[in-house]
Amino acid sequence: MYTLIDGKKTAAEIRQEIRREVEDLRKEGKKVPHLAAVLVGHDGASETYVAAKERACHEVGFDSTVLRLDEDITQEELLDHVQRINEDPAIDGLIVQLPLPQHLDEQKVIETIRPEKDVDGFHPVNVGRMTIGLPAFISATPAGILELLRRYRVETSGRHCVVIGRSNIVGKPMSILLARKDEPGNCTVTLCHSRTRDLASFTRQADIIIAALGKPRFLTGGMVGEGVTVIDVGITRLPSDKTRSGWKLVGDVDFDSVAPKSSFITPVPGGVGPMTIVSLLRNTLLAARKEIYP
């Protein structure tokens, strides 16, 4: 029988922990963490994500600011806004909601954010520090996955972990983090992707699988061994005649066929997703406390 890794419940517990820490800061007369988000244009998904981040900040007692900018803003104007937030001592963490309109250079924007305010963990300085094991802001989804493995006491040391997907946001950092000398960590890691030949030959040998390919129900029961731990990062909206909305969310894992062979598995929704925003809050608290960049 598998154990369901409940990201929704775990995220709620962590939010309460952060809320108590913020209350302690208030009692001690110290600064309350402040997260700023920059939103360019009116993309529906981005609006939803930013609103969720605002609600989460309010729930844990953070100050929050959302800077909404017109879609036709120039690169220079956007960078000026980022620099002003960089220089504002009241703001501890800064995120620029992605994706940006096509005429804007996302990488240039990311590199303009000061590493000590880069609570998304996308700046090359934070990525580099993470890679060599120095304190760094770890991007929210990998950080959330590590926390789930830690809190559910999933053994990782000496285990074979297969990461499916090589994105800069999830796949690559997960492969680095799980190979490091730490807990969770000390895995032997195989990084697979869309060009991997006979991918199933790797996944069948895995003790842990991180599925982050972006293909719905890609990983099936025939591709995994008994007792595997499966972390499903994918989320895709598919049409459904069984729901009131007319669609449903599915992950990269075919849950019904994989779960019976698993020891631990995350659902979609309710697994990795809820951990992303709470990890962003944790990074902002670390930024306010200057624990990464004293």
Catalytic residue positions? 53, 97, 120
Task: Using DSSP, state whether 86 is helix, strand or coil.
Answer: helix
Report which of 287, 273, 247 is spatially closest to residue 121, judged by C-alpha positions: 287
Amino acid at position 2, single letter: Y
Q: Which two tokens stand for residue 213?
A: 């390919």
Alpha carbon distance 48, 53 (integer Å)? 9
Report which of 284, 292, 252, 286 is spatially closest to residue 35, judged by C-alpha positions: 284
Task: Using DSSP, state whether 5 is helix, strand or coil.
Answer: coil
Q: What are the strands of the beta sheet with 93-96, ordered from one edge?
A: 63-69, 34-40, 93-96
Report which of 168, 246, 264 is spatially closest to residue 207, judged by C-alpha positions: 264
Q: Which residues contact 138 (CB under 8 A, 6 or more apart)?
A: 121, 126, 130, 146, 173, 177, 279, 283
Contacts 24+ apart (CB under 8 A), 220-225: 220/254, 220/257, 220/258, 221/254, 221/257, 221/258, 221/260, 221/261, 222/257, 223/199, 224/258, 224/261, 224/262, 225/261
Which residue, chain included where needed, has tokens 């190979």?
179
Q: Is 134 exposed, middle or buried (0-12, 13-18, 19+ CB in 10 A)?
A: exposed
